[in-house]
Each structure stands twice: as C-alpha cells, then as structure tokens.
Amino acid sequence: MTTAELTQYEIDVSDVEYLRHGDKPLLARIYKPKGTGPFPIIVDLHGGAWCKKDRTSDAGTDEPLAKSGVIVVSLDFRMPPEARYPASLVDINYAVRWCKLHAAEWNGRADRVGILGVSSGGHQAMLTAMRPNDPRYAALPLPGKQAFDAKIHCAVMCWPVIDPLGRYRYAKNAQSSSAAKLKDAADGWVSGHDKYWGGGEAEMLEGNPTQALVRGEKVELPPVVYIQGTADIAHPKPNRDEFIASYRKAGGRVELHTFDGVGEAFITTDPNSEAARGAIEKIIEFVLRELK
C-alpha cells in the first residue's frame, strides 16, 4: 500500500516543554493526528553533527508520518557547547519515558513507541534503542517517579553515524583529500566529533552501536529500517555494512533501503524529491507495520 492509499489524517502541531535544566527549557514539537486513535508514537531526533539544528529540522518527514496516523514527537536536546556525551542520551531517554507517561492524553499508545534518527540523531536513536535501561542514560526520574521504561519497539535510521569512531577516522583521513568538497566537509565532521565527544576516541568506542555489538554487549534489538543514498560521502558504507552484519548476527532484524544517486540528507534537503518521497513511503510502511 502506498502513502496515497493510506488514511490521511489532519494533524495538530504544538511545542511543549518536556524537560528543564536550570532555567533552560527543552521543547518537543508534537505532531498529533486528529482522531480517537489510539495512535503509535515515534520520537524523532534531528541531525547536525551532534551540535546543530533543532526539533523543526525533520518536518519534511515528521508531517507525512503524522498524517499516516502516527504521533511524532520531535525533540530538542542538549548539545555542545552546553553539554557533551552522554547528556543528549539522558534527555532522549527521559523523553521516551515522558511520551509513554502522556500517551493516553494524546490518544497514543504507550506500548507502541518507536524512534527515528537522522545522521548524528541516528547514532543517538540507535544507542537509545539498544540501551534503554543504561543507568547513565536513565538518570532522570519522571515526575512522581512514574515507572515507565525507555524500551523502543522499532528504530528508523536515516543515514546514521552508526560507528562514531569509524566515521571519525574516515573524516580525519578525508581532511587531506585533494577533493575540496570532501576536505571542507570532513573539517566540519571532525569538529562536530571533537565538540561532542569530550573523552575522545575511547568515548567514541564506548558510545558506539556497532562496536557494542562487535564486543558482545548485551543490548536490546528492536527491528530497524536503514535508509541511505548511494552517493552519501558523510556516512561510510563499510560502517553501515558492519553494523547490519553485526546486528543480524546478534539476532536483530534490519531492512536496508538505498536510493540511487542521492547523498546524505536527501530527505531533509528536498522532501518532495522522488527519492525522498520513496524513502518516506518506506519509513511509513515500516512504522505502521511494526507498531500496529
């Protein structure tokens, strides 16, 4: 079934404070289908090399997903220079539990919550999904000490930084490239890594979905859909292939969908392009199937 054949809901969009650190609120943009539901929930994490962008960045994906009958909660979270790893994971873990706490008042389902992440947000989404009970990430209690966990029922990966250490080393090598476009981009990637990972390469190894699997860490393995363009120079294919092989070996399920001739951020850049529409259709199909 294509998105054109699905029920299309009208949606309400609002910004809500979900967490506060000192005098700084963190906002979530909530896209809610109009109807009785109950609707599944997707928590969306924007990209931006861990250091840029905000909850509005993925509107081109979030709006059609919500119109298909999914509550989408797109987050702001702490970023450098304010805070480094694992602060963002603390905010995200809390937000997943906060969504479950409020699901009923949204006509949502607390038992059907997935996560979507773009680029660096993909890294954070996958780590959240694999380590929902990590005591570092789950450090903040909900109001009234409500007992919801951060377990995720499916994960949507849009060109994720799935191996931060592998991507860092790739980017460092690319800084000496003779191709000006690649070199300039690599400088930005390295800068983002250095700002976010205060503990350097050792921390990139620890907070690493792929290497957690390689070293045999006991993790959760929700179903994954993986979206990437074949012309993506920011997220190395060998990193992707190692993650997929390791995830499947550990017993997890991954669907890979590649889109010819497009690079990183192809949905974000032009959500109305043919490739983006095809990718969004795959995302919606996966989410509605896994969270039904």
* Domain extent for 60: 3-290
Q: What is the mean pLDDT of the chain?
A: 96
Given a cut of 80, whether residue 133 has pLDDT beyond it is: yes
Query: How much is the pTM?
Result: 0.97
Separation of alpha carbons 281 and 1, rounded Å: 9
- Phi then psi for residue 170, to 5 deg, are -60, -45
Structure tokens at 214: 């390689």
Per-residue pLDDT at 144? 86
pLDDT tens-digit profile of 37-68?
999 999 999 999 999 999 999 999 999 999 99
Q: Which residues pair with 257 in a beta bridge?
A: 227
Q: How far is CA 263 from CA 180, 186, 231, in A?
A: 17, 15, 4
Separation of alpha carbons 3 and 285, rounded Å: 8
Number of structural domains (the chain) is 1
pLDDT tens-digit profile of 168-191?
999 999 999 988 889 999 999 999
If you average pLDDT over residues 76-81, what whole number do you get? 98
Per-residue pLDDT at 3? 56
**What DSSP line would sit under the chain, residue for residue?**
--GGGS----EEEEEEEEEEETTEEEEEEEEEESSS-PEEEEEEE--STTTS--TTTTHHHHHHHHHTT-EEEEEP---TTT--TTHHHHHHHHHHHHHHHHTGGGTEEEEEEEEEEETHHHHHHHHHHH-TT-TTTT-SPPGGG-------S-EEEES----HHHHHHHHHHHTT-S-HHHHHHHHHHHHHHHHH-TTHHHHHHHT-HHHHHHTT-------EEEEEETT-SSS-HHHHHHHHHHHHHTT--EEEEEETT--TTHHHH-TTSHHHHHHHHHHHHHHHHHT-
Per-residue pLDDT at 213? 98
CATH number for the domain including 191? 3.40.50.1820
Neighbouring CB atoms inside 10 A of 14's CB total 10
Q: How far is CA 283 from CA 106, 246, 253, in A?
A: 22, 22, 15
Chain centroid, CA 41 distance in Å: 14
Confidence grade of residue 110 (pLDDT, cut at 50, 70, 90): very high
Given a cut of 70, whether residue 140 has pLDDT beyond it is: yes
